[in-house]
Amino acid sequence: MWNRRLWFFGGAVMVGVIAVGFAVSADVANHLFRSLTERYRFAPLLVTPAGFVLIVYLTRRHFPGAQGSGIPQTIAALSASEAVRAELLSLRVATGKVLLTLLGLVCGASIGREGPSVQLGAATMFSLSRSRLFPYEGMHRGLILAGGAAGVAAAFNAPLAGVVFAIEEMSRSFEQRTVSIVVTAVIVAGVTSLAMQGDYAYFGYVHALIDLRTGIEAVALCGIAGGAAGGIFSRLLLATASGLPGPLGDFQRARPLAFAALCGFFLGALGLIHGGAAFGSGYESARAVLAGNASAEGFGPIKALATLLSYASGIPGGIFAPSLATGAGIGRDLAQLLPWAPVTALALLGMVAYFAGVVQAPLTAFVIVTEMTRESDMALPLMSCALIGYGVSRMVCPHPLYKALAQPFVRNRSMGDAKA
């Protein structure tokens, strides 16, 4: 019994250490790309497409299953056979995903590290199931959920968001024992992250207030606009993941490396035309909007398009951070319609509405935005906006994004097992 607990705590600590190391490395990767573009303005036209080609080649050749976010793979593993689960949550694939995500950031891809953190955390905890100390299927599933939740918590210093995300998005049904496993792993990984990086808010400490009259209008406007935009983004992303129609889809399937280069070139051009905000996770741009220092208009749609191009190319990378940045930009643009409302408050509402629209997990959207900004005075408006965004998104995109993306991973590997 004590051996099992020690192994479990050790695994959770490891997830925290890896997540912090990943976060630091991602910052370095973003800095390298910014330094390159500051010195050579037109570098993205060459570096981004060439980098996309290399990453897609390495993914398809050496790390199949590492493409995309990593959250769909983790969700698929929960209901897969043991053989398929071991393939989806291979430490080799998860490690490759992290390294390729960092390479993507060096090339300017509009991706985040949260999805890879989830898959790596799940893979790390799942590796414990190979020990005789965890002999039961229920334990294996609990370890996967705990590792994924711990990855979110440690990556963004948002422990409550990790728990809520595991419950709301990665699994729809929980036993009491599973909940305790998830919570324990999140606490241990969170404390590890806290010990290494200190107490911090991902987007800084944001303070925003809106009065009752302004609040009603702002919540409704941001909820509808953000939810609709998030639903549209999800539909487009699902379309690219399942294969584009017509000649472009034929080109995507027949020549994946050339298609990746095309996506990289358009992303590079987009960044040159509209500024460097199209590149990277969007963290700095979103933080500038929340601090009231950003004046550029149209950042939200530009970031959404940049993220779509990055995902369509087939490279690994998450969409959490880019989606939060896109939402902040949408809220900032909506400030023109409500000039009497604080821009920071509208940016927060835009973040929660768009994120809820993309992932269709309103509780996670509310909790993660609250924890990342430490803003508690707008709890009711943020929660209301998340629910409105979720409802509008469901009308635009009836299929939850991560659940739909998870299906091919189980189906393709199940077919492979059957043929074998």
The closest of 305, 259, 260 to 282, measured between CA atoms, is 305
Mean pLDDT of 248-267: 90
Q: Does some domain include residue 411?
A: no
- Pair (164, 222) in one structural domain: no
* pLDDT of 350 higher than 60: yes
Asked, for residue 419, whether it belongs to a domain, the answer is no
**CA 164 to CA 59: how far, in whole Å?**
31
| pLDDT level of residue 190 (50, 70, 90 thresholds) | low
Highest mean pLDDT among 87-101, 222-236, 333-347: 222-236
Domain boundary among 197, 230, 246: 197
**Are the CB atoms for 144 and 88 separated by under 8 Å?**
no
Question: What is the rounded average pLDDT of the residues 294-299?
Answer: 66
Are residues 44 and 134 both part of a single domain?
yes
Residues found in the chain: 420
Find the domain containing 15 and state its range: 2-197
pLDDT per residue over 9-43, tens digit each?
777 788 888 888 888 899 899 999 999 998 998 99
In a domain, 116, yes or no: yes
Q: What is the DSSP letter of 341?
A: S
179 pLDDT band, cuts 50/70/90, is low
Question: Per-residue b/e over 357-383, b at no fewer than 16 CB within 10 Å?
Answer: bbbbbbbbbbbbbbbbbebeebeebbb
Range with the poorest average pLDDT among 319-328, 338-347, 355-364 = 338-347
Candidates 232, 326, 222, 233; CA nearest to 282 is 326
Last residue of a domain, one of 170, 197, 224: 197
Query: What's residue 385's pLDDT?
Result: 92
Checking if the pLDDT of 209 tops 80, the result is no
In a domain? residue 40: yes
Provide the pLDDT confidence category of residue 419 given band limits of 50, 70 and 90. Answer: very low
| Helix/strand/coil percentages in the chain, nearest 5 | 75, 0, 20
For residues 229 and 299, what is the distance between their CA atoms, to the nearest angstrom? 13
Please state, in angstroms and rounded to a whole number, the distance separating the CA atoms of residues 150 and 31.
26
Q: 281 and 186 in one domain?
A: no
Same domain, yes or no: 190 and 272? no
Q: What is the spatial distance between Cα 325 and Cα 334, in angstroms, rounded to a whole number?
A: 14
Ranges 170-184, 279-293, 330-344: which has the least confidence: 170-184
**Would you list the DSSP string of 356-408?**
HHHH--HHHHHHHHHHHHT--TTHHHHHHHHHHHHHHHHHH--S-HHHHHHHH
pLDDT above 70 as % of the chain: 81
Domain assignment of residue 303, yes or no: yes
Query: Global pTM?
Result: 0.86
The terminus-to-terminus CA distance of the chain in angstroms comes to 38
| pLDDT-wise least confident of 135-144, 168-177, 253-262, 283-292 | 168-177
The span from the CA of 210 to the CA of 377, in Å, is 9
Mean pLDDT of the chain, nearest integer: 81
Q: For position 415, what pLDDT does the model report?
A: 42
Residue 176, both tokens: 């009491």
Q: Do 238 and 264 reside in the same domain of the chain?
A: yes
pLDDT digits (tens, 9 = 90+) for 395-410: 999 988 888 888 877 6
With beta carbons less than 8 A apart as the criterion, state whether 300 and 286 touch.
Answer: no
User: Which of 221-225, 342-346, 381-385, 415-419 is modeled with the greatest confidence?
Assistant: 221-225
Q: What are phi and psi of 313, to 5 degrees?
A: -65, -25
Judgement on whether residues 9 and 120 belong to the same structural domain of the protein: yes
Helices within 157-199 (DSSP H only): 159-165, 176-197
Q: Which of 26, 4, 15 is nearest to 320 (CA)?
A: 26
Judged against a pLDDT cut of 60, whether residue 177 lies above it is answered with: no
Q: Which residues contact 111 (CB under 8 A, 6 or more apart)?
A: 101, 104, 105, 281, 307, 310, 311, 315, 316, 317, 318, 319, 322
Q: Is the pLDDT of residue 173 over 50?
A: no
AA letter at 419: K
Residue 267 has pLDDT above 70, yes or no: yes
- How would residue 259 be classed by pLDDT, with cut points 50, 70 and 90? very high
| Under 8 Å between Cβ of 281 and 325 | yes
Residue 155 covered by a domain: yes
Q: What is the pLDDT of residue 42?
A: 92
Distance CA 407, CA 76 (A): 7
- Considering the domain architecture, whether residues 63 and 183 belong to the same structural domain is answered as yes
70-123 pLDDT tens trace: 888 888 888 777 777 888 888 888 889 999 999 999 999 999 888 888 888 888
What CATH number does the domain containing 39 carry?
1.10.3080.10
Average pLDDT rounded to a whole number, residues 267-285 = 85
Q: Across residues 207-227, what is the average pLDDT?
A: 80
DSSP state of 113: S
Residue 412 within a domain: no
Considering 173, 197, 221, which residue would you say is the last residue of a domain?
197
Name the residue among 364, 291, 362 with its Cα closest to residue 328: 291
Q: Which of 114-118, 180-184, 369-373 bottoms out in mean pLDDT, i.e. has the lowest?
A: 180-184
Please tell me whether residues 318 and 272 are part of one structural domain. yes
Q: Using CA atoms, how far apart are residues 69 and 122, in angstroms rounded to an integer?
A: 13
The number of domains in the chain is 2
Those residues whose C-beta lies under 8 Å from the C-beta of residue 145, and which sit 6 or more positions away, are: 78, 122, 166, 170, 171, 178, 181, 182
Shared-domain flag, residues 307 and 181: no
Task: Judge if 168 and 237 occupy the same domain.
Answer: no
pLDDT at 188 over 80: no
On whether residue 12 sits in a domain, the answer given is yes
Rounded CA gap, 274 and 168, in Å? Answer: 36
Binned at pLDDT 50, 70 and 90, residue 393 comes out as very high
Tell whether the model's pLDDT for residue 327 goes beyond 70. yes
Residues 19 and 114 in one domain: yes
User: Based on the domain organization, do 255 and 294 belong to the same domain?
Assistant: yes
